[in-house]
Amino acid sequence: MSALAIAPSACIPRGSTAPSRRPAAAAAVRLSAFRPVRPARGPLRVRSQAAATATVDVKELNAKYGKGSAVEVKEGRGGLPTVFLKSAAGATAEIALFGGCVTSWKTAAGQEVLYIRPDAVFDKSKPISGGIPHCFPQFGPGAMQVHGFARNADWAVGGASGDAAKPAVTLVLKDSDYTRAMWPHAFKAEYTVVLDGEVLRTRLAVTNTDDKPLEFTASLHSYFGVADVETANVRGLQGLEYLDRVRDSTHPSVHQELRELATFRGPVDAVYKAAPAKVLLDNGSGDVSIASVNWPEVVVWTPWTAMEACYKEFVCVENALATSPAKLAPGAEWVATTAMAFSRDPLDEFCASNPEDLECLVYDD
């Protein structure tokens, strides 16, 4: 299996005259779309205290947690300490300790499924824009910095497994002076990432280590690369109630999703309630299957032309706990899991080897 390869630096400004070749199966997806009339959230503005950073000795971490070629701790993008996973199947994943952010998930063919925005920086001056950042302990909007502090703090390595079939790492974030200044609670968050063959699995466990109750909201703010935002679609949301946050994120309007395929023809910021156990994102090359347990909502987002240079190249489909906070008594734990897999479109695979076949020579109007 393989996924769509999209280089983060390859943003083509809207209006480029370069033709877009697309298999007929994808070009045929032209349903009437939800068209919000006002702009999207716009460029991200992070109201944050300085990032909670720590000095990390990657050689020491690799000596302790490195498991041969299956698990390695070394410098990644921008020199950030990063955990590299490689399964026996040949798939790879990268998890930056800053933000506990999965910054890459590649199939055995070496092609990227996730997306890093071209405005992303890796110097800890702001959260990593892309991959799978955390929103915790606030999905937003709210009193603290945008989407909480977990994506803006260094996580520690708590353990690793070098099983070649299923290499895994567990990252840990605990309360500190930095976090308590924004959220006065003692807690422990453990985030386990497993590369099960080519499937990317995550487990987020939050424990209340305080002597009083706490509440939080959260999401995995997952960015996925797409061939073209206007032909991407999400299946599995039909019939669900959703909150449209485009006009006003603090007072969203309520709607029911009537479409079989949720598509993108303008800015979208929608929180789908009572989400199913699995949704499918058609990224133009195949399906990204996103299965989850105990994530009660799915958030679908595109900034549209608020990110003019590259909005066509990605969409966010997020597992979320956004509208009803988790409430934990002292000592209690909350756990949620995901499993993400990619299956390639057979027509796209055929066209990769037969680009001049009539079935493959389809251009947009």
The catalytic residues are: 221, 318
Tell me the C-alpha distance between 164 and 68, whole Å: 9
Spatial distance between the Cα atoms of 12 and 267, rounded to a whole number of angstroms: 18
Sign of CA dihedral 245, 250, 254, 256: positive
Secondary structure class of 7 (helix, strand, coil) = coil
The C-alpha atoms of residue 73 and residue 160 are separated, in whole angstroms, by 10
- Whether the CB-CB separation of 139 and 322 falls below 8 Å is answered with yes
The answer to whether the CB of 311 falls within 8 A of the CB of 302 is yes
The amino acid that residue 12 corresponds to is I
Question: CB under 8 Å to 122, separation ≥6 — which residues?
Answer: 76, 77, 78, 79, 80, 96, 98, 128
- Nearest C-alpha neighbor of 174 from the set 221, 220, 206: 206
- Asked, as a colleague might, if the bond just before 346 is cis with ω within 30 of 0, I would say no
Which residue, 153, 159, 129, 175, is CA-closest to 66?
159
d(CA 245, CA 101): 25
- Token pair in block for residue 57: 């000795």
Phi and psi at 87, nearest 5°, equal -90, 165
Do the Cβ atoms of 94 and 106 come closer than 8 Å?
A: no
3 state DSSP class of 360: helix
What's the token pair of residue 252?
A: 């969203």
Helix and strand counts by DSSP (H, E) for the chain: 4, 21
